[in-house]
Chains A and B, each alone.
Chain A
Amino acid sequence: MNCFDPKGEPAGALERGFYVEPPAATARQIADRLAIEPSSSHVIVGGVGTGKSTELHVLSSKVPEDTTAFFLDVPSEQKLSKLRAGVLLALTWVKISGTVEKRHLADDAKLLFDRAEASAEGFWGEAWEGDDNPGDLIRVPGILEGPDKSDNIDNVVSGLRMLLGSSAQRYVVLFDGLDRAKRTADLVRMIARDIRSLEGLGIGTVLVAPPDLQLDLNRQIAERFSGFHFHLAADFLTAAGAAFLSQVLRSRGDAGSGLLAATAIESIVSFSGGILRDLVALARDSAEFAYAQGADEIDEGHVAAAVDRLGRLLLLGLTPEMTKRLTHLRFSRLRQKEPFLEFTTAGQADIDLLVRRLVVQLPGAIPRFVLHPAIVPLLPGLGRL
């Protein structure tokens, strides 16, 4: 059952051969574009658990031979309150300068190196006359610690330009984790300014962005990127999407003990909403119910129990606004034949429903939204759960 872990690290899953290329083939598309245009910038937007980080990891192994890829989980490197213009540049500096032996640089290049390093990361210096304790060693913050100053950013850009100018090596930086950040003016400014600077330096960038970056208000930001990629749930309502999701399960089932009956796979796929993490979790939880019953194979009854448990967890802690909106969506869905919702991400309640994957966005030229299939059987009792 270890092959079905919704918390599983993408890198570990790749090593174990669990990766099945999704229909959107986001990693391959970006890799192809970076091969032609190494300094192009790309943004990936998609729901929780759809495999965006996995695509970044896949991408890091698909870059051209003369290119080094750096993977960065931005919130792990930098505090939320300090995400602002210059941070992505400074983080890039830390990664690229870490590959350089400073002692091999010429004296003038060393000067630029030191200045960029101090501007990005800060430095220790003596307190001046007039400070509280003149002569004491104090920490002078850089971009990653203190307020942003334009000369700090300029110094980092100069340092990077110097390093890149003296090497044939190309770089692409994969910024993960910003999809978990709330969109703030500082965050938008950071993305807009730093991506442009990195592109100007010839550094390729791929950034996983907050889901509301796709909203009309942020079109101007989205348009700054060379490529805008939706990495959404797989379309479990189409034969191709269902085949992909089945293949994901089979690749893991074969690696495990082949516990899954064909009908159970079909059922898990249809209740997963096309979300990879829920697909894997449903397989694991179904296996757990089978184990508790001493069954040798996972059947549809075990899947039904797992679906019920996932649905209840998804509905836990809804705000009154979300409950009201879900109830409205349920009734409007009952009035029509198609499973798709009349849904726009115009308000905060709708964004919250998407972020909590109660509503799932499916890929297509026209955005299509469905209720997460695991919550649908529970909606008539909403409020009594």
Chain B
Amino acid sequence: MTTGETGASSIASRILLTDGGWTLVEFVSEAAALEGAGMLRDELTHELGARGEQARAVIVEFTDAEALTRQLAELGEADIAILTQLDRLDARQCEWLDLHRGNFTGGPRVIFLATARAAAQLCTAGNLVAWLGGRHYKFDQTEGVMDVEARLQTLRALHQMDNDTMTRLVKEKSLPLTPEIVEWLILLNRGDLLDD
């Protein structure tokens, strides 16, 4: 078993396993972290909604440590703060956050979205990081994204015919439109054949 990369959906469901606790998610770049923040917020919002919870998942842009304390104080204990722009975190800010950890007691769950550099910087705040336990994920941006060619290959093998044969048979109306055939057509961008 490894602790390899994990995507937005898995991270969201794991975070929601517990009411408390903080999480560190590592990204390859700050740009990827910003993109991942939106994906995580959407996943968390969807999951929270499905569970009928009133809590919110909110993206919080890090500017400085004292401002962060005020921003988190505005959120409820059940809310989830997704922290971005952590490349702005320096040694002084880390020290401040570590010392004032008590300010975050009773505050929202926090997800730090950090590059490797920012994650290493954050880990110098020993008291703060102790709240993570071992909850540290490397973000997999491709999780949940279908490999279209691999899926087409599976469908061709399953039905023992190539793409052209399948589309010809559909046009001739000699192939029933099962869910798999519909999926195959859509993957080939031939959804128009479903209207005929």
Contact = CB atoms under 8 A, between A and B. Distances in A.
Interface of A: 1-2, 4-9, 48-49, 73, 75-76, 80, 176-177, 179-182, 277-278, 280-282, 284-285, 287-289, 291-292, 301-302, 304-313, 316-317, 355-357, 374
A312 B3 contact: yes
A141 B3 CA distance: 53
A180 B14 CA distance: 30
Interface residues of B, number: 38
A80 to B, nearest CB: 5
A179 B123 CA distance: 17
Chain B CB within 10 A, most for which of A48, A176, A313: A313
Contacts of B121: 317
Contacts of A180: 98-99, 101, 127
18 contacts: A5-B18, A6-B21, A6-B131, A73-B105, A75-B100, A80-B100, A177-B99, A180-B98, A277-B133, A280-B133, A281-B135, A288-B17, A304-B1, A306-B134, A310-B133, A312-B3, A317-B120, A357-B126
A317 B103 contact: no
B14 to A, nearest CB: 5
B10 interface: yes
Contact of A313 (B17, B96, B100, B129): B129
B140 to A, nearest CB: 14
Given A177-B102, A277-B130, A357-B126, A289 B1 contact: yes
Contacts of A1: 17-18
A282 B134 CA distance: 7
B106 A80 contact: no
Nearest to A74: B102
B24 interface: yes
A8 B126 CA distance: 17
Contacts of A7: 20-22, 131
Interface in B8-32: 10, 14, 17-22, 24
A287 B96 CA distance: 32
B91 to A, nearest CB: 11
B134 A285 contact: yes
Contact of A80 (B96, B134, B136): B96
Contacts of B98: 180
B133 A9 contact: no
Given A9-B105, A80-B96, A180-B98, A313 B24 contact: yes
B71 interface: no
Given A8-B20, A75-B103, A313-B24, 14 more contacts: A5-B20, A48-B130, A179-B127, A277-B133, A282-B133, A284-B21, A288-B17, A291-B14, A312-B3, A313-B129, A317-B120, A317-B124, A356-B124, A374-B134
Contacts of A312: 3, 134, 136
B132 interface: yes
Contacts of A304: 1
A76 B120 CA distance: 25
Nearest to B117: A317
Interface string B95-121: 110111111011000000000000111
A304 B2 CA distance: 9
Nearest to B122: A317
Nearest to B107: A7
A5 B19 contact: yes
Given A8-B20, A9-B106, A316-B123, A309 B3 contact: yes
A76 B107 CA distance: 13
A317 B123 contact: yes
Contact of B135 (A8, A181, A277, A285): A285
Contacts of B120: 316-317
Nearest to A305: B1
Contacts of B1: 289, 301-302, 304-305
Chain B CB within 10 A, most for which of A181, A278, A285, A304: A285
Contacts of B106: 9
Chain B CB within 10 A, most for which of A73, A292, A317, A357: A317
Nearest to B118: A317
Contacts of A305: 1-3
Nearest to B98: A180
Contact of B102 (A176, A282, A289, A310): A176
Contacts of A317: 119-124
A284 B23 CA distance: 13
Contacts of A357: 126, 130
A310 B127 CA distance: 15
A6 B21 CA distance: 6
A76 B102 contact: yes
A48 B99 CA distance: 12
Given A2-B20, A304-B1, A305-B1, A76 B103 contact: yes
A203 to B, nearest CB: 22
Contacts of B19: 2, 5
Contact of A6 (B2, B99, B130): B130
Contacts of A277: 130-131, 133
B122 A355 contact: no
